[in-house]
Amino acid sequence: MIKVGIPRALLYYQYYPMWQTFFEGLGAAVVVSPPTTQAILSSGSSRVVADTCLPVKAFCGHVLALVGECDYIFIPAVRSVKRKIYNCSKFLGLPDMTKAVIPESPPILDIDIDINKGKREFYQAIYRLGRRFTWNPLRVRKAAIAAGQAHLKYRQLMSSQGLTPPQAIEIMSSKTEVEPETLPPNPTQANIALVGHPYLLYDEHINHRLIHRLEQAHYKVLTPEMLTTEQLELAITRMVGRPYWTYEEEVVGAGGHYLERGVDGVIGIMAFGCGPDSLMMNMVQRQAARLRTSSFMSLTLEEHTAEAGVVTRLEAFLDMIHRRKRRQAEVCV
Ligand code: SF4
């Protein structure tokens, strides 16, 4: 059986169930690289120039971790998934960059995804990819339809059940049905929204287990994936009008929504050296200053970010939220 490797980095958290369903529908086995470690990150960093952003360094490390483990590696060039909305240039050149810096990589299965070129081009690209596994166009079509349905189910699972991508992936992989959330919301529990790209929010090595630390401190953690596409798009329209970047929803949309909702705190997470995020996070920060509904902190992560530094900033931020809530309670009594 042909083995297709998928790096556990960058777009993995957005699309893994869809990709897995597609390749398995074509009769392939899917191999995912292990969670990020310091060794994976260091090996990736050693292959690219120093000012490459942290998630791309981690991505290269994950590709290296798959060398010898699979027959092909799937690396799509995702240019645009919505009309006239464009992706960061790093995604556009990902397959070519990987070929150049990791020559020992297994053959790369790449596909150009650019919705601006029209649906016909998109379907042809999927068919060309499927033909690497089967000459039967009906089988490719069936796998593609199942993949689309898996993606919808994945998104719906996260937004309706308040799950993070790793939790939703685990449920979908174990193929168990989830019961709707029955626990009533706790009105006294403080909630903190994390805004940023999934490859920063859910990579526990890169963010020093931020979600785990917040949950340990008894905060309810909210993330962009827990919102519906409509909620995210509405928040973007209210805040900036029309989006320009593909994944603006994860930063501007989620940030705008949670600030309007008046959650206790919003933490914006971005990677050092990321051009799009430096603009988008600035918009969220200015909105936080305008609305004054929630405490806001931005956290910039890079390869040398020390765990102690993250913990200190987090403790100071949580302390600020605690004092603010106490002041509000004093005013209310
Ligand atoms: S959006 Fe920023 S962090 Fe993400 S790949 Fe592009 S430059 Fe890197």
Residues 97-137 pLDDT 10s: 999 999 999 999 999 888 888 888 888 999 999 999 999 99
Task: Write out the two tokens for 329.
Answer: 């309670």
pLDDT score for 268 = 95
Instruction: Judge whether 59 and 44 are in contact, CB under 8 Å.
Output: yes
**Is the pTM of the predicted complex or chain greater than 0.85?**
yes
Residue 239 has pLDDT above 70, yes or no: yes
Question: What mean pLDDT do residues 25-31 have?
Answer: 96
288 lines ligand 1 (CB under 6 A): no
Least confident of 36-40, 216-220, 229-233, 302-306: 302-306
Q: pLDDT by residue (tens digit) across 99-108?
A: 999 999 999 9
What pLDDT is recorded for position 331?
61
Distance (angstroms) between ligand 1 centre and the Cα of 90 equals: 6
Average the pLDDT over 245-258 and give the result: 87
Q: In angstroms, what is the span from residue 281 Cα to ligand 1's centroid?
A: 13
pLDDT at 30 over 80: yes
| Distance from the alpha carbon of residue 237 to the mean position of ligand 1, in angstroms | 23
Burial bucket for residue 267 (CB in 10 Å: 0-12, 13-18, 19+): buried
pLDDT of residue 186: 67
pLDDT band at 178 (very low <50, low <70, confident <90, very high): low
- The string of pLDDT tens digits covering residues 270-303 is 998 888 888 889 999 999 999 998 999 999 998 8
What is the sign of the dihedral through the CA atoms of 12, 74, 83 and 248?
Answer: positive
pLDDT at 179: 58
Q: Is the pLDDT of residue 33 over 60?
A: yes
Q: Give the atom of ligand 1 at the shortest distance from the alpha carbon of 245.
A: 1
Write down the pLDDT at residue 170: 93
Q: Whose CA is nearest to atom 5 of ligand 1?
A: 90
Q: What is the pLDDT of residue 244?
A: 75
Q: Which of 49, 56, 94 to mutate to test the pocket of ligand 1 (most atoms within 8 A of CB)?
A: 56
Q: Give me ligand 1 centre to Cα 2, in Å.
A: 31
| Mean pLDDT value across residues 220-237 | 92
* Alpha carbon distance 281, 250 (integer Å): 10
The predicted model gives 188-212 an average pLDDT of: 93
Report pLDDT for 176. Answer: 62
Atom number of ligand 1 nearest to Cα 270: 3
The stretch 29-33 carries a mean pLDDT of 97
Helical residues (DSSP H) of the chain, grouped into ranges? 12-25, 38-45, 54-66, 89-92, 94-101, 119-130, 137-161, 165-174, 198-201, 210-216, 229-240, 248, 254-261, 275-291, 307-332
Question: How high is the pLDDT of residue 80?
Answer: 81
Residue 185 has pLDDT above 70, yes or no: no
Q: Which of 11-25, 197-211, 235-249, 297-311 comes out lowest in average pLDDT? A: 235-249
Predicted confidence at residue 175, as pLDDT, reads: 66
Q: Is 88 in the pocket of ligand 1 (CB under 6 A)?
A: yes
Q: Which two tokens stand for residue 315?
A: 């403790």
